A and B are shown apart, each in its own frame.
Chain A
Amino acid sequence: MTNKNIQKLIDKYLAGETSPREEQRLALALSQHQDLPEEWESIRLMLGELTLGEAEYDAIMAQRNTRPSALLIALRIISSVAAIYLVGLFFYLQQEPVAKVETAYNNKVEKQQSAPQPEYCTEGTPREILMCYLERRQAQPDTYKQLKRMSNENK
């Protein structure tokens, strides 16, 4: 509080118009002021110990209400971290498991490996042998291109 404001409050106090709250503010301001003039020292004495004590009581209570304790801050941090972790875990569990291709646990790969096809199309009617040959040729074009090239070279 500035000296001008203190003087205004003192004038109001001497006029009997201050509220108890204003008197507490004045007592607190005067107690914190260094090198009080004699007139202000008189006002400090008049306001008395009770007014000053009450002002300090209210100031401490107000400070407590506005400043969170260290324990509260720690609890807030812990709860924030836990909340973030739980949200992340929730979304992670919502994902459908994706089967990894070409692993030992892939059923399709296992089936292909466990039941190898015969090297040549030899069984069935001639039409079935022909269809088998064409399917294989379509499935493995590179192999058959190479075979064709080799057969041409041998001619």
Chain B
Amino acid sequence: MTRSEFEHIAAQLRQKVLKVGLDFFGNREDAEDVAQDAMVQLWRYCEQIDSGRNISGLAVRVAKNCCVYLYRKRQAVQQRSYTEIGPRALRHPDTSDSPQELLEAEDTRRMMTEVVALLKPRERELFEMRQIEGLSVNDVSKQTGIPKPSVVAMVSAARKKVFTELTRRMKQ
């Protein structure tokens, strides 16, 4: 998806992520923060998404992550401690991670990207639809026109390949 294609649907996506923020925080100000954060992340990521794909599901997931991040950040400020922020994966790189943790997280992301790139194009597409967009097998089947048993089989094959390769690399 090009940046101009993203801009074309940005207003529609913004409404969706704003609603997620409003549901979570219950006030407009925080919801606007969530919407802005989520749109920036989608903007950075949009060129990695295939054109023609519906990314509203992904936008909602990103917005939920932004809500949790903001919530944890405020809790951490209240408690004056970062020990209970929660999973390391949820932390954004601008606040609490040490340089070493940031490098490790970056390495992990790069390794994951490399491993997924080894998949066949169709496998990769289905893997990402399930993994990144969070679609169910039914939704993937509807969007791609592939029968459900085939979707399950292809996603399973893709996951097993990624799992084997990731485990092998981590053992090295």
Q: What 1/0 mask marks residues of chain B from 33 to 71 whose CB sits below 8 Å from any chain A CB? A: 000000000000000000000000010011011011101
Q: Quick one: given A46-B159, A46-B162, are A16 and B152 in contact (CB under 8 Å)?
A: yes
Complex Cα–Cα for A48 and B61 (A): 12
Q: Assign chain A's interface to a size class.
A: 20 to 34
Bound-state CA distance A19–B136 (Å) is 6
Looking at A34-42, A91-99, A125-133, the stretch in contact with chain B turns out to be A34-42
Stretch at the interface among B3-11, B76-84, B85-93: B85-93
User: A19 — nearest CB in chain B belongs to which residue?
Assistant: B136
Majority DSSP secondary structure for residues of A touching B: helix
Q: Which residue of A lies closest to B62 (CB)?
A: A50
Is there an interface contact between B132 and A50, defined as CB atoms closer than 8 Å? yes
Contacting pair A50 B163 (CB below 8 A)? no
The proximity string for A residues 30-69 relative to B, scoring 1 for CB distances below 8 Å and 0 otherwise, is 0100000011011101111111111011001100000000
Give chain B's interface residues, CB within 8 Å of chain A: 23-24, 58, 61-62, 64-65, 67-69, 71, 86-87, 89-90, 108, 112, 130-132, 134-137, 151-157, 159-160, 162-163, 166-167, 170-171
